[in-house]
């Protein structure tokens, strides 16, 4: 599928950071940035640019509250570097710490929000836009928040934000391709002047096919991660997506190198991918936390117990 408007965003370090408490060393992040850039990927999301004062006592590596210095260390000097993106959570950023875009090492800010937080998200997006950043709004848990509030949120994103793209985020990995068709058609009733984006999770091995379905339906901003690394079941794999897209600017080989050199060993130490409790959570449309918890304990392979607990919780 060749369509010039398509933009691929690699969010390996950002979504993958949810697997290892954002604790990648700078050399690793730099290798991934170099590989993703060499592959011709459009954006590289290096982490969350939240502010540490909102996480008192929490332990995490540098990519949850990226400093401009960290971002520079990992990205400066890389030839033909991809544009650098950061994600922010509503209400978790001290805006006084944010420099204007022309004095910072990142280009794009993506504001992640549930439907209910959309007013705050738009206000935040507007601040970043005024500071000169490219912006997107990423509507999370889109399989759960399906009431009329979703229509209202999409309408507001269109009318009140300056975001260049509004992302539909299948946080729980529960959508099927038919759902993607309906969801994009619904979004297009409200969002006409802006691009749409899609971010999938792979609980049901559908992140890639749902991304393809999004493309077919006209979505142009696509998230993926190297070897699918991301929270719980992970994401659409970047190597599959680049292989599917026919734009000659993409070259999958630097991504294959990263999988060989870094992600096969990393997968030995941290788990993501097709894991039965995550599959069950995806089938049932649940937040991944319960499955993440069960994977840490002695019942990690007791799938029937997890299935029965989750289904009975739903039928209360």
User: Which residues sit at the interface with its own copies, rule CB under 8 A?
Assistant: 176-178, 202, 204-210, 212-213, 216, 228, 237, 239-240, 243-244, 252-253, 256-257, 259-260, 264, 273-274, 276, 279-280, 283, 301-304, 307-308
Nearest CB to its own copies, comparing residues 97 and 261: 261
Q: In whole angstroms, what is the distance from residue 161 CA to residue 120 CA?
A: 11
What is the distance between the alpha carbons of residues 47 and 65, in angstroms, rounded to a whole number?
7
Closest approach of its own copies to the CB of residue 253, in Å: 5
Which of 60/176 has CB closer to its own copies?
176
Q: Closest CB to its own copies among 72 and 307?
A: 307
Give how far Cα 32 sits from Cα of 35, 236, 266, Å: 5, 17, 13
Measured torsion, CA atoms of residues 155, 159, 164, 170, in degrees rounded to the nearest 10: -20
Q: Is the CB of 83 or the CB of 307 nearer to its own copies?
A: 307
**From the CB of 200, what's the least distance to its own copies, in Å?**
11
Closest distance of CB 41 from its own copies, Å: 17
> Rounded to whole angstroms, how far apart are CA atoms 189 and 166?
13
DSSP letters, the chain, are: ---TT-EEEE-HHHHHTTTTTT---HHHHHHHHHHHHHTT-SEEEEEEB--GGGSTT----TTSB--HHHHHHHHTT-TTPPEEEEEEETT---GGGPPPGGGSS--EEEEEE-GGGHHHHHHHHHHHHHTT-EEEEEE--TTT--SHHHHHHHHHHHHH---SEEEEE-TTS---HHHHHHHHHHHHHH--SSEEEEE-B-TTS-HHHHHHHHHHTT--EEEEBGGG--STT-B-BHHHHHHH---TT--SHHHHHHIIIIIHHHHHHS--SS-HHHHHHHHHT--THHHHHHHTSTTTT-HHHHHHHHHHHHT-
- Closer of 85 and 202 to its own copies (Cβ): 202
Q: How far is the CB of 68 from its own copies (least distance, A)?
A: 34
| Between 131 and 276, CB nearer to its own copies | 276
CB of 256 to its own copies, least distance (A): 4
Residue 103 Cβ vs its own copies, minimum distance, rounded to whole Å: 38
Q: What tokens appear for 192 in the block?
A: 């006409």
Residue placing its CB nearer to its own copies in the complex, 51 or 177 = 177
Which of 105, 173 has the CB closer to its own copies? 173
135 versus 235: smaller Cβ distance to its own copies: 235
User: At closest approach, how far in Å is the CB of 284 from its own copies?
Assistant: 9
């Amino acid at each position: 599928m060749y369509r010039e408007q398509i933009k691929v965003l690699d969010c390996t370090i950002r979504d993958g950071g949810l697997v290892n408490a954002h604790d990648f060393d700078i050399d690793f992040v730099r290798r991934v940035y170099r590989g993703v850039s060499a592959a011709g990927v459009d954006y590289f999301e290096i982490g969350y640019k939240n502010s540490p004062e909102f996480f008192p006592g929490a332990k995490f590596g540098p990519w949850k509250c990226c400093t401009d210095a960290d971002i520079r260390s990992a990205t400066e000097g890389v030839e033909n570097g991809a544009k650098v993106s950061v994600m922010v959570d509503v209400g978790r950023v001290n805006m006084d710490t944010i420099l204007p875009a022309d004095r910072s090492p990142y280009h794009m800010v993506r504001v992640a929000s549930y439907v209910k937080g959309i007013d705050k998200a738009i206000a935040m997006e507007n601040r970043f836009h005024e500071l000169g950043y490219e912006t997107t709004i990423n509507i999370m848990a889109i399989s759960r928040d399906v009431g009329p509030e979703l229509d209202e949120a999409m309408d507001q994103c269109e009318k009140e934000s300056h975001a260049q793209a509004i992302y539909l985020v299948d946080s729980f990995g529960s959508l099927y391709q038919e759902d993607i068709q309906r969801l994009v058609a619904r979004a297009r009733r409200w969002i006409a002047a802006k691009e749409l984006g899609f971010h999938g999770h792979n609980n049901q091995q559908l992140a890639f096919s749902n991304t393809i379905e999004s493309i077919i339906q006209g979505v142009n901003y696509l998230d993926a991660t190297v070897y699918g690394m991301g929270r719980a079941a992970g994401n659409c794999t970047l190597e599959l997506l680049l292989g599917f897209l026919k734009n000659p600017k993409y070259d999958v080989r630097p991504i294959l190198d990263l999988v060989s050199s870094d992600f096969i060993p990393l997968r030995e130490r941290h788990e993501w991918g097709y894991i039965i409790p995550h599959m069950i959570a995806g089938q049932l449309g649940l937040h991944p936390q319960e499955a993440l918890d069960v994977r840490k304990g002695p019942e990690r392979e007791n799938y029937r117990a997890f299935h029965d607990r989750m289904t009975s919780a739903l039928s209360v």
